[in-house]
Amino acid sequence: MHSRLARLQQGAVFMALAAALGWGVVVWPQSPAASMAGVALLLGGYVVVLALELVAVAWVHRSDPAPRPRWAELAAAWWQEVRVAPRVFAWRQPFWWRRWPDSEVTPGKPRVSDVGAVVLIHGFVCNRGLWHPWMRELHRLGVPYVSVNLEPVFGSIDGYVPLVEAAVRRAEALAGRAPRLVCHSMGGLAARAWLAADAGNPARVQQVLTIGTPHHGTWLGQFSHLPNGRQMSLNNPWLQALTNAEALHTPTATYHQFICWYSNTDNIVFPASTATLPGADNRLVPGAAHVAMAFHPRVMRESLAILASGANSPSKRTAS
């Protein structure tokens, strides 16, 4: 498995460090204050972007049925993402994405799991390195898993269907039974595109867990000119066609296999209810940011309990 995104992010990290070092060295003799301010902006400017995103969350929310976020929740979400984003985008994904390899089938040995394997599907501008905390816990619990790198990074979501198909086949071979899919953000749409690609695919998985997936698009999608970005704008034609294809294959209880984690302070997928599906087990996580939601204690605790036990749900639904 390769990751072009890892190379891109490695280059971005090195360029940011070089630019900060160069600015700091050149400007320091003239103005130490300007030198430090420039370094802070080059290395920490993303914190301003995160703050602006959450201001947009508060403004766009308006009549959304999810509970309106309090400013304290928005501030907490901002702080979560400030801490998590560098670990994901400047370390795990560019440099450590191979740290936890996928489970492998051992020839001549019995099936390794009674609960089914897990397929981990990341989101936009991510790779399998996103899932390190999940991989570590799945390994500890003895649950086999496989992962994908969705590339081309800026391609159409439909182009990821063969990658998901290959991962599902590997997961089926690992445990000898239908796997579960765990998806973050755009990964949930890739999973839905795969499910809709063949009428037999829904029967090949036990459950689909999505975390912050823009099932109905997101307000931010209107600003994208990328193929997969446009496919995540609010209620765009691609999403409507996907919904129609799903209804054709599964006309009743279309989303009964889905557990959808969503938040009223998701800084990427908003308004909040765009991350839910009708008839799914929709679970609200108040005050969680987009990337941080993937590692939220409740999200991981309840999801891992499902993956390890095979139970349909360890707790009651929180919303629908």
CATH number where 159 lies:
3.40.50.1820
- Looking at the predicted structure, is the pLDDT value of residue 106 above 80? no
Predicted confidence band at 243 (pLDDT cuts at 50, 70, 90)?
Answer: very high
Report if residue 30 sits inside a domain. no
Mind giving me the DSSP string for 246-311? HHHH--SSTTTTEEEEE-TT-SSS-SGGGG--TTSEEEE-TT--HHHHTT-HHHHHHHHHHHHH--
CA distances from 258 to 79, 190, 191, 195, 206 (A): 29, 14, 11, 12, 9
Q: What is the pLDDT of residue 62?
A: 82
Q: What is the per-residue pLDDT for 201? A: 97
Residue 317 pLDDT > 60, yes or no?
A: no
Provide the pLDDT confidence category of residue 50 given band limits of 50, 70 and 90.
Answer: very high
Range 270-294 average pLDDT: 98
Q: Given this model, what pLDDT does residue 111 score?
A: 53
Give how many domains the chain has, as a whole number: 1
Give me the mean pLDDT over the 86-100 stretch.
Answer: 97
Does residue 291 belong to any structural domain of this protein?
yes
Q: What pLDDT score does 63 carry?
A: 84
What average pLDDT does range 30-48 have in this prediction?
95
**Least confidently predicted of 57-71, 112-126, 268-282:** 112-126
Determine, yes or no, domain membership for 58.
Answer: no
pLDDT at 107: 58
Instruction: Confirm whether 184 is domain-assigned.
Output: yes
User: pTM here?
Assistant: 0.94
Report, as an integer, the average pLDDT of 11-24. Answer: 97
Per-residue confidence (pLDDT) for residue 115, from 0 to 100 = 82
Which residue is it, tokens 């695919």?
201
Report the distance separating Cα 281 and Cα 306, nearest Å.
13
Q: CB 279: neighbour CB atoms within 10 A? A: 13
For residue 214, tell me if it sits in a domain: yes
Decide if pLDDT at 113 tops 60.
no
Residue 244 C-alpha from the chain's centroid: 24
> Hey, is 214 helix, strand or coil?
coil
What confidence score (pLDDT) does residue 73 get?
98
pLDDT at 314: 45
Domain residues for the domain of 212 are 118-309
- Is residue 210 included in any domain, yes or no? yes
For the chain, what is the radius of gyration of the CA atoms? Answer: 20
Model confidence at 315, in pLDDT bands (50, 70, 90)? very low
Chain centroid offset of residue 31 CA: 42
Domain membership flag for residue 66: no
**Do residues 306 and 180 lie in contact, with contact meaning Cβ atoms separated by under 8 Å?**
yes
Using an 8 Å Cβ cutoff, are 171 and 179 in contact? Answer: yes
Picking from 215, 146, 152, the residue whose alpha carbon sits closest to that of residue 180 is 146
- Specify the pLDDT at position 318: 43
4 belongs to a structural domain: no
The whole-chain average pLDDT of the chain stands at: 94
- The three-state secondary structure class of 42 is helix
Q: In percent, how much of the chain has pLDDT > 70?
A: 94
Give the tens place of pLDDT for each residue, 205-237. Answer: 999 999 999 999 999 999 999 999 999 999 999
Could you tell me the pLDDT band of residue 310, with boundaries at 50, 70 and 90? Answer: low
Question: What are the residues whose beta carbons fall under 8 Å from the beta carbon of 36, sequence distance 6 or more?
Answer: 24
Read off the tokens for 305: 């309990």
